[in-house]
Amino acid sequence: MKALNDNTLQNIREQIGVDALLENEPMRLHTSMEVGGPARYFFLPKSEDDLRFLLTTLEAEQYPYYIKGNGSNLIFPDEGYDGAVIEIRSMQNVTITGEEVYAEAGILLKDLSEQILAASLTGFEFASGIPGSLGGAVCMNAGAYDGEMKDIVQSVRLMTKSGEILEKTNEEMEFAYRRSLCSAGELIVLGATLKLQQGDPEAIRAKIDDLTSRRQEKQPLEYPSCGSVFKRPEGYFAGKLISDAGLKGYSIGGAQVSEKHAGFIINKGGASAQDVLDLIAYVQKTVDEKFHVQLECEVKILSCLSPQK
């Protein structure tokens, strides 16, 4: 892929700031699995206007790009990404009015949880320990324990690739298991309005602490990972299938099926992206051979050039 021309890069720097454009930035520094080679360009927009400028510029140049949040459900290849990666983590504004919370897509769920707790609002506790940003959580309808994003999202603010702003209701978002209207990649989540309820701060904190304790007990949080790697097959639990297949602790290179929770693949140290991908494929093959169940990966896997087009 050819580089962007100097005039285009200068225009981008003037719009989003010199510090918001990095070149050949290692993606292992921006994903929770801590693997992946460099992106040719790495952009950090601070506002909707910055994001619109980037989208319209890159679309006009027909230049490939990928938009990411926290990178907690994402694997870049070892070769890197020969295009532009746009990270929206800087967009983190939150407004709380009564029982409604509007938050921008870049805020981490754990940070949003603290602000919601400070306002004595309940309903968001299930999301407090999910790694990732609000935008990614809305896009994939993230869930844990007793809740999913679809249960609390009132409306979503979106941007098209042409820079148009849209507002979609909960129903219009077409929420389903680990997917939504945004899953195809044609719409970018800018923020969401959540509908919560007044609650007792001590009870809210107690529930968050309980869920945190349960996660720490059952999940390998001490290692880099992408969280749960596979979607839940109908009628089964992915972790149990993998465990029953005798794959707990199985390793390829620096990647390992967690001994604590078989639904997790962890970076034990020095894993390459290819180690992780090979282990995912081996787990899928083994479970299919033993139980005739096909495990579907819920982690987003990019190719060296995987344009969001």
Distance CA 88, CA 68 (A): 7
Distance CA 10, CA 18 (A): 9
Q: 279: Cβ–Cβ under 8 A, 6 or more apart, which residues? A: 250, 251, 252, 255, 256, 257, 265
Which residue numbers are catalytic? 178, 228, 298
Distance CA 64, CA 58 (A): 7
Phi, psi for residue 38 in degrees, rounded to 5: -80, 145
Handedness of CA 52, 25, 70, 170 (dihedral sign): positive
Distance CA 262, CA 264 (A): 5
Residue with tokens 């007792």: 200
CA 37 to chain CA centroid, Å, is: 18
